[in-house]
Amino acid sequence: MQDLKLEDKFSKIRIQLLWDRDDKGHAFWGIMLAKMKIIENNKFDTCATDGRDIFYNRQYCESLSFEHLKGVIVHEVKHRALMHHVRQQHRDTTAWNVACDLSENPIIIDAGLQLPDGVLLDPKFKGWSAEKIYNVIYPQIQQHMKKMQMSASGASDDGQNGQGEQPNWLQPQSWGNIVDNVCDKLSPSELKEEEASVREDIFQAVRQAKDRGTVPAEIKKMIDRMKRAEIDWEDVIQRHVQGDVPHNFTYRKIHRKFYYNNNIIAPTIDYVGCGHVVVGVDSSGSVTDKELQLFLGGLNALSLELKPKSVTIITCDSKIQNVYKFEQGEEITKISADGRGGTCVMPVFNYIEEHDLDVDSFIYFTDMGVHDFPEEEMPYPVLWVSTDLDSDKAPIGQTTYLKVA
């Protein structure tokens, strides 16, 4: 294999991936790779992608074994297939690139492929979405970069305040090559076209890959993510809250079209609003202010429309932070997301029980980084509103998803 020219190795990788009939989904990556160019660009130290094509440093690639080169190429293909360039949105490019690598590298290894030494890996992030990892590492990377700028000597810190070694994702030399995202140059309409183009490539690759093996689990998850992103979460909340709407009958004056024969006036339903709605709000550090504002804004609009008898909002990270009570017609404002610690949900359920709250419907807004879900169904309807499109559904109640543009 060492005798092969680099271009021949690339061709061999394309062919191997395309015709692999395995349970690891290699054929899917081969089909996606067939739609991408592999372009030499020696301004990069290793390999990189702008979301459409793959760029490589010749000296670096020639130094790799064939299996390592194959893993690196699949790594770059995954960035497009998982729509990382579209999903970046407003996020910092360096931290987003690190988050994407931490999310996808364990998957590549689990698929039986090899990666060179020094790639970004951290066991605690295995199975996490890039968005969720980003929310955790972004402030740490920013803080680390500030320390580096302030350090005149350039001496590296010995870890987190002297506690052990730093993970390699906090070391700039491991951040790899940062390429301008093609989406940064696109107008909103062009961005939609790019997203639609990638989706079509994914769906075509899925259809073809089914005939040659299996579709990678992370791609199935991606398709679920696409479907979840199209859910109207406000509509789901409305139907959840209105599941058992109280009403009265009235004989008040009504429009003549509602009269029965012989001018007999039948009673009509007089809508008086739903009952007591309790809302748990995740105020942990992994929920962003933008996500919180979007949810509370939508909740306020629905509250004014549905006219619940009362709304209780309980903010909680690892413990109860604040409890807010609003009466019918009162605008939901001035909610403070204090805490910013870890994520626990049981304190909210315990609060409801300890204070004997009469709950007609319950909503929990969270990023689903939850490890203490209730073990049994509650005596009231529960709806989870997740900010993580990749998260699993909660073990109890219903789950819907909130997409933050």
Which of 171 and 155 is assigned the larger pLDDT? 171
Average pLDDT for residues 174-178, to the nearest whole number?
Answer: 60
pLDDT at 405: 63
When computed from its CA atoms, the radius of gyration of the chain, rounded to whole angstroms, is 26
Identity of the amino acid at 154: G
Question: Do the Cβ atoms of 76 and 105 come closer than 8 Å?
Answer: no
Identity of the amino acid at 187: S
Average pLDDT for residues 256-277, to the nearest whole number?
Answer: 54
Question: Do the Cβ atoms of 334 and 354 come closer than 8 Å?
Answer: no
Phi, psi of 247 (to 5 degrees): -155, 160
Look at strands 320-327 and 310-316 and give their pairing.
antiparallel
pLDDT at 177: 58
Res. 58 pLDDT band, cuts 50 70 90 = very high
Lowest mean pLDDT among 42-46, 225-229, 400-404: 225-229
pLDDT tens, position by position, 11-25:
999 999 888 766 677
Lowest mean pLDDT among 164-168, 237-241, 285-289, 381-385: 164-168
Delineate the domains of the chain, giving CATH numbers in brackets.
6-229 (no CATH), 233-401 (3.40.50)
Average pLDDT for residues 246-261, to the nearest whole number?
Answer: 42
Between CA 123 and CA 110 the distance in angstroms is 13
pLDDT at 12: 94
Where do we find the tokens 């791609």?
A: 219
Question: Do the Cβ atoms of 385 and 402 come closer than 8 Å?
Answer: yes
